[in-house]
Every structure is written in structure tokens, then in C-alpha cells.
Amino acid sequence: MTEPKTEQRTAAKTGWTRNPGANGAAVRTDELTRHYHLGSSLIRAVDGITLEVQAGEFVALLGASGSGKSSLLNLLAGLDRPTSGAIFVLGRELGCMTSLELSRHRNQTIGIVFQSFNLLPRMTVTENVELPLRLAEVPRVSRPSRAKEALERVGLGERVAHRPGELSGGEQQRVAIARAMVNRPRILLADEPTGNLDSNTGEEILRLISGINRPSNGEEPATVLMVTHERALAERYAGRIVTLADGRIERIEQR
């Protein structure tokens, strides 16, 4: 019963107008906070964020170092729990999920790409990309073709037997994107996916992410939330730019 009220409040705060009857939100947060206690001090990493992201949107999160961007993404990913407030993903509140549902959320509803790639060094490229399929209990026989398809999509069909250490930074990030997308998640969360790359390679990665957001092959578009320090990239690729400061939304720009 409280949901419609929350939605109206959300729309008013975010400036996002939409058909009030339709529920097209991929992600919605309501007065979300994540506070850390460090010794005697309280760090308000996320300090009351109310945000709605529509299905198929590409939102860039900007903000100074320490403004709460990664903390927010980790909450949306279900890797961390809020101090207060609520997170709805595809209309379901994360706080109400069982641990099994939450792990499904992490494995199947969302894909995550980190700045540091987070590939497993002892595994080959294919094994890294197959990992989410194993976790999602996709039958063994269909895993290699799914992994191959994801790797071809990021232009790495020839590197399947390499280990991450044998790849360039841009190639490793492409493997990480293939791994994030192999389960065909509806939402892609990317935390500075171009942070460790030169500008040309960064641009390539953005084009890939943009292609996942707006696929040309008739596939379902994925909603993208991407943290970046690079305003120029955000302006070129995102439909909306949300700037955080001190754990709060400072500004929202519609492109």
C-alpha cells in the first residue's frame, strides 16, 4: 500500500516523469543509506539516495572520490546491505529476498564489471566467462557455446585459451564484460570500467557497454548504471548523469 506514495515521492525528487500506471523501473532506491562506523566516527557513505532508473536507461554516476559511488553500486548489486531505506530491482525489494533469491539476483539479474577486472588469474578466459553459468547451474553442455558467444561479442573469440595475465588491460576488461553479460542480465552495473585504460581503449569499452544497452541484434536492451570519473564519456554515452556529493544526489542531468 505504501508503494504508490513512495513512487510519487521518488518521481518528484528525481524529476523523472513517467506514466504513473506503468512500472518500468529497473532500479529504484528510496531514502537509501549506508553508514560505516570507523572507530568513533560515522561515515555516511550513502546518505539518503532516492533514485529511479527506468528499464533500458543508461545512467552515469559521477562524483568526487569518496562521494559514495561504489558504495551505492555495491548496495544495488546486493553485495552489501543498507543501513536504512529500500532498494527495488525490477519491482522486488532486495531487503525482502531470501539469501537464495539474493544470490540469484547477483548471478542472473545483474552483471557487474569492476575497475580492477576481478578475473581469476589461474583460469582461462573461457573458464572465467563460464563461471557465472556454473553458478547459475546452466547445464554443462551449453556452457562453452554461451561463453564463446559472449567472447565473440566483445571481440575476443580468438583469446579463449589465454589466461588473464596474458591479455592487455582492455582485453581483460572485455573478458570481464563478457563474464558480466553471459547470463544475459537485465541490468549491468559497472564501476569505473575504463578507469585503468587509455582513452582509446576506454572508448572501445564504452562502445561495447553502449551496444549492450542498445543492442542492434534484436536482443533485449540492458539497463546500465556506470560509475565514471570521465565526464566526457558520460556525456557522450549516458542518457542521464547523476552526480553524487557526500553520499547524496547533488545533480541530475538529462541528456
Ligand X SMILES: Nc1ncnc2c1ncn2[C@@H]1O[C@H](COP(=O)(O)OP(=O)(O)OP(=O)(O)O)[C@@H](O)[C@H]1O
Choose among Mg ion, ligand X, none what residue 36 binds, the Cβ cut-off being 5 to 8 Å by kind.
Answer: ligand X
Full DSSP string of 182-237: TT--SEEEEESTTTTS-HHHHHHHHHHHHHHHS-SSSPPPPEEEEE-S-HHHHHHH
Instruction: Kindly tell me which of 50 and 70 has the beta carbon lying closer to ligand X.
Output: 70
Q: Which of residues 43-62 bind ligand X (CB under 6 A)?
A: 43, 45
* Least distance from Mg ion to the Cβ atom of residue 159, Å: 28
Is 99 a binder of ligand X (CB under 6 A)? no
Instruction: Kindly tell me which of 123 and 245 has the beta carbon lying closer to ligand X.
Output: 245
Binding to ligand X by CB under 6 A, coded x per residue (else -) over 165-204, reads ----------------------------------------
Cα gap 200→90, rounded to integer Å:
34
Cα gap 186→110, rounded to integer Å:
6
Strand-pair partners of 42: 37
Choose among Mg ion, ligand X, none what residue 143 binds, the Cβ cut-off being 5 to 8 Å by kind.
Answer: none
Cα gap 205→83, rounded to integer Å:
33
Binder among 17, 65, 99, 216 for ligand X (CB under 6 A):
65
Cα gap 60→70, rounded to integer Å:
12
Is 36 a binder of ligand X (CB under 6 A)? yes
DSSP state of 22: -
Cα gap 166→21, rounded to integer Å:
51
Is 70 a binder of Mg ion (CB under 5 A)? yes
Tell me the window of 68-76, 85-93, 142-150, 153-161 that interacts with ligand X (CB under 6 A): 68-76
**CB-based contact 176:113 (threshold 8 Å):** yes
Instruction: Kindly tell me which of 70 and 194 has the beta carbon lying closer to Mg ion.
Output: 70
* Least distance from Mg ion to the Cβ atom of residue 196, Å: 13
Q: Would you state the cell numbers that stand for residue 34, as one nine-digit string?
A: 549506508
| Contact footprint for ligand X (CB under 6 A) | 36, 38, 43, 45, 63, 65-71
Would you tell me which residues interact with Mg ion (CB under 5 A)?
Answer: 70
